[in-house]
Amino acid sequence: MDAERVELQIAALLDQADREHARVLEAIAELKAAGAGLRSEVRAAAGSSMQEALNNLQGDIAEARQVVKDLQRVSLWRSALQHVLVAGVAIVIALVAVAWYVPSMSDITALRQEREQLQGTVDTLAQRGGRMMVKECGPQKRLCVMVDRTAGAFGLAGNKGEVYMVAKGY
């Protein structure tokens, strides 16, 4: 009987091991199902939180885009203002330079009149011998002119020794 008892105990143990094995397989199946459910729940939660974050970012992106457009607009106006100011300063400097260096109309008129008077004097001098060749002569550096010997000599050579001659070119 002892062998029968041992066999019965072994059979009971094997039966119990089969039941435990079945329970373990059932627990593993339940764990796999729970893992798959958890995985899908995690994916859904991650997807929804990512979607929510992206939606929040869309608003921030739109706001940043508007800020950039505003900055571009302000920068354009600032640049245009700077260019206008630089051009204005350049024009003012040019006008001041012209006013400083260019004579006034009354000065120009006075200079024209003076030039006409001087030209008249030059013309009179040219007619009266003003174009004669003049240089300094001798050790005393006296003024002398070039004469035209072919025109002849004039004056009284005997009395005071004065001799006049025609300047060359007249």
What would the pLDDT profile of 72-125 be if each residue is shown by its tens digit? 888 888 889 999 999 999 999 999 998 888 888 999 999 999 999 999 988 888
Q: What one-letter code names the amino acid at 164?
A: Y
Taking the complete model, does pTM exceed 0.85, yes or no? no
User: Does pLDDT of 158 surpass 60?
Assistant: no
How far apart CA 26 and CA 101 sit, in angstroms, is 109
Pairing of strands 134-137, 164-165: unpaired
Residues recorded for the chain:
170
Q: What is the pLDDT of residues 124-151, one digit of tens each?
A: 888 876 777 888 888 988 888 888 778 7
Compute the mean pLDDT over every residue in the chain, rounded to the nearest whole number: 85
Question: To 10 degrees, the CA torsion angle through 78, 79, 81, 84?
Answer: 180
3-state secondary structure of 63: helix
More confident residue, 157 or 112: 112
* Mean pLDDT to the nearest integer, 42-61: 86
Within 8 A by CB and 6+ apart from 105, the residues are: none
How far apart CA 51 and CA 63 sit, in angstroms, is 19
Q: Domain extents for the chain? A: 1-78, 133-170
Q: Lowest-pLDDT range, 5-9, 24-28, 30-34?
A: 5-9
How far apart CA 156 and CA 24 sit, in angstroms, is 164
pLDDT at 119: 94
Within 8 A by CB and 6+ apart from 162, the residues are: 155, 156
